[in-house]
Structure 1
Amino acid sequence: MASQLDNEESLDLLLARQPVFNKSQDVVAYLLLYRNTEGGLPAELNDHLATSSVILNTYASICQQGEVRHLPCYIKVTDSTLMSEHFPELPKEHFVLEILSHSKITPEFVERVAELAQLGYRLALCDYEPAERYLPLLKHIHILKLDLQRFGLDRIEQIVHDLKPYNLELLADKVETQEEFRKCYELGFGLFQGYFLSKPEPIKGKKLSSSKVLLLQLMLELQSPHASAASVEQIVINDPLLTYRILRVVNSAAFNVQREIKSLSHAITLLGFDQIRKWVSLFLVSDTADKPEELTRIMLVRGRMCEIIGEMTGLDQPISAFITGLFSQLDVLLDMRMGDLLSQVPLQDEVKAALLDRSGQLGTILHEVELYEAGEFDNMKNLLETRFYETAYRHSLSWSQQVMQTLYTND
C-alpha cells in the first residue's frame, strides 16, 4: 500500500472536506479543511486550486444516486489573498470564496468584494455577527454563515429576521443535532453545516430487521476459523436478494472476471473471505433508505482510510480496521445506541472496544481518522508520515465513490 500511495499525485498539505447540506439533507457543496495557522489559503493549496485536477476530480466529486457529479467547494480566503494582484484564476462554478469575519472591512476591501461578485464569483461571509461594520458587505455577498453554537436558537431567530431585507442565502453552521437542524430549517435557513448527521436519535426498544440479522449471522460465520465456502453459502441462500447482489458484485467490472460466475460457492471462493466480509459490511450499511446518502459515504471513507492506516502500520488483520471505521456510525444509521447495537452484533472484542471507547490499536486508528476528517490535524498522533495521510484520504474518497456506484448498480 505504501508504494501505491507513493505513486499518487501529492498535494503537499493535509486536506479534508466537510459537507454542506440543503434542506433535504443532500450534499450541495464541500468546505475544504486544511492546516494553516492564519486560517487562510496556504500557498500550496493556492497553486493546486488553479492548476491541479485533484481537487475537482476527488474532493469536489461525489456519487449521488449512482451518478458522478462535481460540487462546488468553499475555500476560506484571507484579506491578503483577496486583495492580491495575483489572485488565482479559479473556475467560478467550482468554488465559493469564504470571507473571514475578522477581515478589515475598508472601502477598498468592499470595492474588491463587489468587483469579485461582478466577475461572477460566489461569495460567503463566515462567523457573521450583528455589527454595523458588516453592512457594506451584505450588499455584495451571496451566502451568510451563522454560528448556531455561538448565538443559540433564540438569538439567531432575531438575527434572521433582521437580515431579511438583504435577501441572502443563510447557512446554519455548527448544527450538532437533528433537533437543531429541524429548528434552523423552520427559521428559514437553506444551507447547513455541522455534525448533526453523525449523531444518533435512538429509538427505544428498536430491534434489528430480519435482513440485517441475516447479514450479521453471515458476518459471524465469516469470523469463524471453521468457515468454508459451503457453510457461508448455506446462510446466504436463505436470502435470494443477497445471493443475487453478491453474484452481481463478483460479475461487475470492478473484479475483471473473465467469465460469468453463477455458483455462489464459486463466487465466495473467487472473492475470498476478506472481500466477502467487506461486501457483507457494505450491504449492511447501505440498506437504510431513510438516511441521507452522505452518511453511507462518510462511513465508507472512514472504513477504507482505517484499513489503509492499518495496513501501513502493520496491523495483522486490516479488515478489522475497515469494519471498525465502517461501523463507527452504525448507531446513527440504525438509530440505536452503540452499546445496545453491539450487544446484537457478532463482532470481535477488540472491534467492540474500539467502537465503544476508542481503546486499543483499532481505537487509536479510528480516532486518528476522525481527527483527520474534522480537520483537527494538530491533534493527530501521526501514526504515519504526514505525506501519506492526504493521499490515503483521497484514495478513500475515490474508493467510496466507486463502491457507491457499484452498490447503486447492484441494488
Structure 2
Amino acid sequence: MTDSTDTDEPMDLLLARQPVFNKSQDVVAYLLLYRNDDNALTINDHLATSSVILNTYASICQHGQVRSLPCYLKLTDTTLMAENFPELPKENFILEILGHSDITPALIERVKELGEQGYRLALSEYKPEPKFEPLLNLVHILKLDLQSIGLDTLPAMVKHLRPYNLELLADKVETKEEFRKCYELGFALFQGYFLSKPEPVKGKKLGSSKVLLLQMMVELQNPQATAQSVEQIVINDPLLTYRILRVVNSAAFNFPREIESLSHAISLLGFDQIRKWVSLFLVTDTQEKPEELTRSMLVRGRMCELLAEMLGREQPINNFIAGLFSKLDALLDMEMPDLLTQVSLQNDVKAALLNHEGQLGQILEQVCQYESGEFDDMTFLLDKAFYETAYRHSLNWSQQVMASLSDK
C-alpha cells in the first residue's frame, strides 16, 4: 500500500477509463478517455502495441478474481478510414463509431469490413435520423445518450430499434432512477455516474460500526492523539480489533518483535497507516453496494494522495481521506452536509468535500476532472505526464487492495 510510482513509464497522453455496467451493476467493459498534446491519438503509437493500456486500463479485480475486460475505443473518421489501420486484438477492443461522423458510402463500407473481420462495433450519439439506418444493420451495440434524448421519448425509440436486435447501452445515466427506467425498457448496458450519487434516506443515522470507524478517523487527526487513546475506541469492537491485528501480522508488515497489545500494534503501524486502513474498512463494509463504487473511491483517494506527495504538500494522507470520502455520501446514501454533521472531520477536509475549497479541494477537483476525461478544463499544477502516471498507479494500487481485502 506504499509502493512508489518511480518505475511507471510516463506516457505522452492523458488517459482515463469509465466503466460500462451490466444489469447487475458489474463492470463488463471500460470506455477509454484520452487526449494527447496535439489532441490526435495515433492508435499505432499507443494502442496496438501498448501493454500498459491492456495490463492496467483493461484490468480489474472483480469478486476476488483479476481479469481483463474489453475497452471501448472511440474512432474519428480519419482513424477509421486510415489505410494503415492496425489489427487490434479483437477480444480487447470494441470499436466505437461516433454519431457526428460523416456517414458516407465509403464509411459504411469500412464499418462493414471491420465487422466481417470479427470486430465488435458500437455506434454512439444515435438519433432517429435516416442517415443512421445503414449502420444499424452493421453495429452490435447502440449507445443512447439519455441527457440528449430524454426519458420521455426513450420508450418509442426503443420500440423502433427492437427489430435490429441491437444491444442497447444507456449512456450518461446520472441517477439510480434513470438506471431503473432504462433497465425496465430492456437496456443491457449502462454508462454514467449514477453510482456516485446517493439515494438519501430521510433521517438516516450512521450504524454503530460506521460511527466507531469515523470516531477513529477523528481521533487519528487529533494532534494530541496517542496509541492508547486510539486503542480505547478500537477495543469497543472485537471484529475491528481482530482486523487491525491481522493487518499488523500480515506479510505486508513483517515486524520482528512480538505484538504485546493493541496499542503496541497501532504504534508499530503508525497513525498514517492506521488512518488508511480504517478508511479502507469503512468503504469496504457496505456489502450491498457494487464493487465499482469502492474501486473508484480507492482510485480517487490514492491519486489525490500521490499528487499531494508530488507537489510536496504537508500530510498527503489528508488528501487520501478527502478523495476517498468524496463518494462517502453515495456509499452511505446520505447527503454530504447531513453526513458531515454526524462526524467531526477537520475543517479543511470538510471544505474540500463540500465545495472543493482549499489545497485539499484544489487537488480533489483536479482528480475528479481527470477521471471524467475533462482534460481541457484542468488547470495543471504539475507536468501532465505526472497525472497519467499517478492515475495509472492508482488503478494498479486499487486492484491490489481489492484483491487483498477479498482474501480477508
Normalising by the smaller structure, the TM-score range is over 0.9
C-alpha separation in 1, matches of 2:148 and 2:405: 40
Report the more deviating stretch, 280-289 or 263-272: 263-272
- The answer to whether the 8 Å contact 1:5/1:388 transfers is no
**Which residue of the partner structure matches residue 251 of structure 1?**
249
Residue pairs, 1:307-386, within 5 angstroms: 307-386=305-384
**Which residue of the partner structure matches residue 180 of structure 1?**
178
**Which residue of the partner structure matches residue 13 of structure 1?**
13
- Count of aligned residue pairs for this structure pair: 406
SS at match of 2:121: strand
Unmatched segments (≥5 aa) in structure 2 = none
Matched, 1:406 2:400: no
- The answer to whether the 8 Å contact 2:13/2:36 transfers is no
CA shift for structure 1 position 162? 0.4
SS at match of 1:103: coil
C-alpha separation in 1, matches of 2:367 and 2:64: 26
Q: In the TM superposition, what whole-angstrom CA distance separates every residue of 1:84-110 from its partner, at most 9, and x where no partner exists?
A: 221122111111000011222222222
SS at match of 1:20: strand
Residue pairs, 1:12-411, within 5 angstroms: 12-35=12-35, 42-43=41-42, 45-257=43-255, 263-410=261-408
Q: TM-score, normalised by structure 1?
A: 0.95
* 1:21 counterpart letter in structure 2: F
Q: TM-score, normalised by structure 2?
A: 0.95
C-alpha separation in 2, matches of 1:408 and 1:143: 33
* 1:271 counterpart letter in structure 2: L
Q: In the TM superposition, what whole-angstrom CA distance separates every residue of 1:257-280 from its partner, at most 9, and x where no partner exists?
A: 567757433321221100001110
C-alpha separation in 1, matches of 2:252 and 2:65: 16
Q: In the TM superposition, what whole-angstrom CA distance separates every residue of 1:274-307 from its partner, at most 9, and x where no partner exists?
A: 0001110111111111111111111111100111
CA shift for structure 1 position 373? 0.8
Q: In the TM superposition, what whole-angstrom CA distance separates every residue of 1:12-69 from its partner, at most 9, and x where no partner exists?
A: 1000111111111111111011126998x602x5422111211111111111111111
Give the direction of change, closer, same or farther, for the CA distance of 1:112–1:163 in structure 2 (3 Å limit).
same
C-alpha separation in 1, matches of 2:191 and 2:117: 27
C-alpha separation in 2, matches of 1:110 and 1:128: 15
Give the direction of change, closer, same or farther, for the CA distance of 1:105–1:256 in structure 2 (3 Å limit).
farther
Q: In the TM superposition, what whole-angstrom CA distance separates every residue of 1:238-259 from its partner, at most 9, and x where no partner exists?
A: 2111112122223333334567
Unmatched segments (≥5 aa) in structure 1 = none
C-alpha separation in 2, matches of 1:297 and 1:200: 16
SS at match of 1:10: coil
- The answer to whether the 8 Å contact 1:15/1:35 transfers is yes
Report the more deviating stretch, 143-152 or 234-243: 234-243
Give the direction of change, closer, same or farther, for the CA distance of 1:65–1:250 in structure 2 (3 Å limit).
farther
* 2:41 counterpart letter in structure 1: P
SS at match of 1:254: coil
SS at match of 1:203: coil
CA shift for structure 1 position 332? 0.7
Give the direction of change, closer, same or farther, for the CA distance of 1:72–1:157 in structure 2 (3 Å limit).
same
* 2:31 counterpart letter in structure 1: L
Report the more deviating stretch, 266-275 or 328-337: 266-275
C-alpha separation in 1, matches of 2:376 and 2:233: 46
SS at match of 2:252: helix
Superposed CA RMSD in Å reads 1.8
CA shift for structure 1 position 138? 1.1
- The answer to whether the 8 Å contact 1:78/1:99 transfers is yes
C-alpha separation in 1, matches of 2:247 and 2:29: 30
* 1:189 counterpart letter in structure 2: F
C-alpha separation in 2, matches of 1:198 and 1:132: 36
- The answer to whether the 8 Å contact 2:175/2:194 transfers is yes
C-alpha separation in 2, matches of 1:150 and 1:178: 18
- The answer to whether the 8 Å contact 2:70/2:91 transfers is yes
- The answer to whether the 8 Å contact 1:128/1:145 transfers is yes
- The answer to whether the 8 Å contact 2:59/2:69 transfers is yes
